[in-house]
Amino acid sequence: MLEVDDLHAYYGKSHILQGVTFKVGAGEIVSLLGRNGAGRSTVVKTIIGLVPAVGCVRFRGARIDGLPPHKIARLGLGYVPEDREIFPALSVRENLLLGMKSSRATGRWSFDDVLTMFPMLRARIDAPGGVLSGGEQQMLTICRTLMGDPDLIMVDEPTEGLAPRLVEQVRRLLDQIAARGVAILLIEQKLTIALAISHRVYVMGQGRIVFEGDADALRATHAVRKEWLEV
């Protein structure tokens, strides 16, 4: 479904991504792992069009590198940014409405779906997004992206800074998203969560892919974990 081939990206003169190649199949959960600064967030920003790409990105067989972010999103590629980027002055309801491609569209996710999964959002449906806690804002960001009915969703560090109870809610939500046929590209610092839910994992180091395999293969490869993941 998503194919990234020899992807390079730059911030000024800094060569951040150095020939990244990977793929995500339909219905898969694939995790992109690595230490902070490895280039993982830059990968998803480049795929969605926020950072200029050098290389090839295909989504459902068509090239999307060079397209603006709004056109990429309308093709069915969702993005949950690390810094959430809700609209603080708008209500929870209005933030969710902004995620929809069309007010008449019916997709995999409805208002009732997302509010049933997260009753805290239902209780605060008319509250401004800016008064929500960090965890509630993370839930809102994920749910806003789901309202656009993506076929693949890229989620950048969804559990960062969350309490253990909310971390478990996010894990269950990712499982539910995949169960409805939505592919997931997950960037996650908590290795236990990534390995528990992923079909395949890639490890990044210094702007390139240094490991590819399933969770069991990574668990068995101590040298990779020691060099590229462990602190």
Write the pLDDT tens digit of every residue in 116-126. Answer: 878 888 899 99
The pLDDT of residue 160: 83
Give the per-residue pLDDT at 1. 93
Residue 104 has pLDDT above 60, yes or no: no
91 vs 189 pLDDT, higher one: 91
Q: Which is it for strands 77-80 and 183-187: parallel, antiparallel or unpaired? A: unpaired
Q: What is the CA radius of gyration of the chain?
A: 17
Contacts of 48 (CB under 8 A, 6+ apart): 69, 72, 73, 77, 79, 154
Class in CATH terms, 2-228: alpha beta
Q: How far is CA 161 from CA 48, 157, 165, 186, 192, in A?
A: 24, 9, 12, 16, 16
Task: Tell me the pLDDT band of 192, cut-offs 50, 70 and 90.
Answer: confident
Mean pLDDT value across residues 105-115: 76
- Per-residue pLDDT band for 112 (boundaries 50, 70, 90) equals confident
What single-letter DSSP state applies at residue 91?
Answer: B
Q: Are 208 and 19 a contacting pair, CB within 8 Å?
A: yes
Contact, 203 vs 35, CB < 8 A? no
Which amino acid is located at 135 in the chain?
G
C-alpha to C-alpha distance for 121 and 207, rounded to whole angstroms: 37
pLDDT attached to residue 188: 87
CB 197 within 8 A of CB 185: no
Q: In what order do the strands lie in the sheet with 2-11?
A: 14-24, 2-11, 54-59, 62-63
Give residue 63's identity as a one-letter amino acid code: R
At residue 90 the predicted structure's pLDDT band, cuts being 50, 70 and 90, is: very high
Model pLDDT, residue 189 = 83
pLDDT in tens, 124-165: 999 999 999 888 888 899 889 988 889 999 999 988 878 788
103: confidence class by pLDDT, cuts 50, 70, 90? low
Q: At what angle do helices 164-179 and 134-146 cross, to 10 degrees?
A: 10
Please give the average per-residue pLDDT across 214-225, as a whole number. Answer: 91
What is the mean pLDDT of the segment spanning 93-99? 91
Share of residues in the chain with pLDDT > 90 (%): 56
Query: Token pair of 66, please?
Result: 């060079």
